Amino acid sequence: MVNYSRNNIKRNFQLPLIRWLCLLVLSFNSCFIFAAEDYLLGGGDKIQISVYEQPDLTTNVRISQDDGTITFPLLGEVAIAGLSPEAAGSKITKLLKDGGFIKDPQVSVSVQEFLSQKIPVMGQVNSPGEYSLKGESRVIDLIAQAGGLRTDAADVITVVKNEGGKSVKYEIDLLQFYAGDMSQNIGVSRGDFILVPKMDKFYIQGEVQGPGMYRLERDMTVMQAISVGGGITGRGSLKGIKVTRHKADGKTQKIRVELMDRLQPNDVITLKERLF
């Protein structure tokens, strides 16, 4: 059996948190360069333009948010907003060739920062708001941009994706992610929405050493919850334990529970005093 003493529950929570923060730092410092044929360039996007065997013409430039143009050597202003990276490369190729600047130019365009495409990251992150896609962005990248998770964040993140004009809900299990399941770190794109809900919690009162509110761990039992609360007092009893539970209609009900029963979010455990 897992020892759910107060000190242990704190350590058990800190370990995945440290691993999570390390992964966020790695994600935040990563630089992605991604060229997507179906992506349309927009104002604010940062792109890299490479011309084969012409290093002086290779440049990084940001697309103007005012008119969707870039300034390119030899050509001046070139309108590329609304084009795919491939189409933008073809346009610059044609302009260089038709202008007589290069006989047979080979131009490639790749997107470095997708600032024209933003995704809302809301809920229990340190800086909720809209954040720009940077390369082949994934959930962890956006969470990192939002300052990481708050200490009261839940273990499951909700991602709503726009797939074929329909909203499809995905749940990202952080406990599986901590264990190395990278499939939880799904890709995100324009039209998606990330929500980090609050952690589930429970309350314990009465004859317990540490009454108050605690994080509800997955599949936590009444016995484990009592251990988290420091155990019963010298006058406390493990018999006749009652839980006040919230029903779907918003009302509450008091039910008698056994030590191995599983708790539900927002349960209130009451421990009574021994009669003898």
pLDDT tens per residue across all 276 residues of the chain: 333 333 333 333 444 444 445 444 444 443 343 435 567 888 888 999 999 999 999 999 999 988 999 999 999 999 999 899 999 999 999 999 999 999 899 999 998 887 778 899 999 999 999 998 876 789 988 999 999 999 899 999 999 998 877 889 999 998 898 888 999 999 888 889 999 999 999 999 999 999 999 999 989 999 999 999 999 999 999 998 999 999 888 899 999 999 999 999 999 999 999 876
209/192 same-domain check: no
pTM of the shown model: 0.62
Is residue 224, in this structure, part of any structural domain at all?
yes
Q: Which of 102, 103, 22, 92 is nearest to 63 (CA)?
A: 92
Kindly state the DSSP code that residue 155 receives in the 8-state scheme: S
155/219 same-domain check: no
Domain's final residue, options 145, 167, 196: 196
Helix (H, G, I), strand (E, B) or coil at 19: helix
Single-letter residue type at 155: D
87/128 same-domain check: no
165/205 same-domain check: no
Q: How many domains does the chain have?
A: 3
Is residue 118, in this structure, part of any structural domain at all?
no
Domain's final residue, options 83, 113, 143: 113
The separation between the first and the last C-alpha atoms of the chain, rounded to the nearest angstrom, is 30
Which bin fits 71, alpha (ψ -120 to 50), beta or left (φ > 0)?
beta
Cα–Cα distances in angstroms (integers) from residue 261 to residues 134, 219, 222, 235, 251, in the given order: 46, 9, 6, 23, 21
Is residue 18, in this structure, part of any structural domain at all?
no
User: Parallel, antiparallel, or unpaired for β 166-173 and 242-246?
Assistant: unpaired
Q: Which of 237, 10, 218 is nearest to 226 (CA)?
A: 237
151/187 same-domain check: yes
Structural domain boundaries, residue 57: 46-113
CATH value at residue 131:
3.10.560.10
Domain's final residue, options 140, 165, 196: 196
Is residue 140, in this structure, part of any structural domain at all?
yes
Is residue 39, in this structure, part of any structural domain at all?
no
